[in-house]
């Protein structure tokens, strides 16, 4: 057995107090010496340690404890949880202060080169707000006279893959709008 339980001494205290498992089994499970487990049972070792319930922690099952209580030669097997944690939120990349001045320039570059991208998509790519991007698009940005288009990939604000994915999404949205307009026109023609 390679892995030991979380908080092995506290787990051993709980197993000694609450089960009929042998000292050898507890010692093997918690990676302790058998005399140390006997000392826990006598009250000489781990006096101030609070018992840690391995069942509530998911390290053991009641069935495993019952089976090991009946058979003293059976080793206690650690219950391994398989957690499937999926991050729903994408972590925002930190952009150093020296690079933050490149955001408006990158937004201007994307506006000029990819007109199909929405303000929100450009804002996500360069790490800016929709309002700032719309001000840059309408030439109302406070520093628009000093802006010069700069590739966001060269500025290291986003990757080329991110831009390609945003373009694909924008193109799909345009196709969807065209289909919706055509279906609306067909409905109007049928009504007349």
pTM: 0.51
Q: Which of 56, 80, 117, 72 is nearest to 1 (CA)?
A: 80
Confidence of residue 85 (pLDDT cuts 50, 70, 90): low
27-40 pLDDT, tens digit per residue, is 998 889 999 999 98
Show me where the domains of the chain are located: 8-70, 97-191
* pLDDT of residue 82 exceeding 70: no
The percent of residues above 90 in pLDDT, for the chain, comes to 43
Q: What is the pLDDT of residue 148?
A: 93
Place of tokens 């055509």: 182
């Amino acid at each position: 057995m390679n892995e030991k339980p979380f908080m092995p001494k506290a787990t051993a205290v709980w197993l000694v107090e609450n089960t009929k498992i042998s000292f050898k089994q507890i010692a093997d499970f918690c990676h302790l010496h058998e005399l140390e487990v006997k000392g826990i049972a006598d009250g000489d070792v781990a006096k101030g340690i609070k018992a840690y319930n391995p069942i509530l922690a998911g390290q053991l099952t009641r069935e495993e404890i019952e089976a090991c209580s009946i058979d003293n030669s059976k080793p206690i097997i650690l219950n391994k949880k398989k957690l499937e944690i999926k991050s729903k939120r994408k972590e925002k990349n930190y952009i150093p202060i020296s690079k933050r001045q490149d955001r408006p320039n990158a937004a201007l570059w994307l506006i000029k080169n990819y007109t199909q991208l929405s303000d929100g998509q450009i804002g996500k790519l360069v790490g800016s707000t929709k309002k700032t991007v719309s001000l840059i698009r309408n030439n109302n940005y406070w520093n628009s006279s000093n802006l010069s288009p700069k590739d966001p990939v060269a500025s290291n604000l986003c990757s080329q893959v991110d831009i390609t994915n945003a373009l694909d999404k924008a193109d799909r949205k345009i196709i969807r709008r065209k289909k919706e307009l055509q279906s609306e026109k067909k409905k109007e023609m049928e009504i007349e």
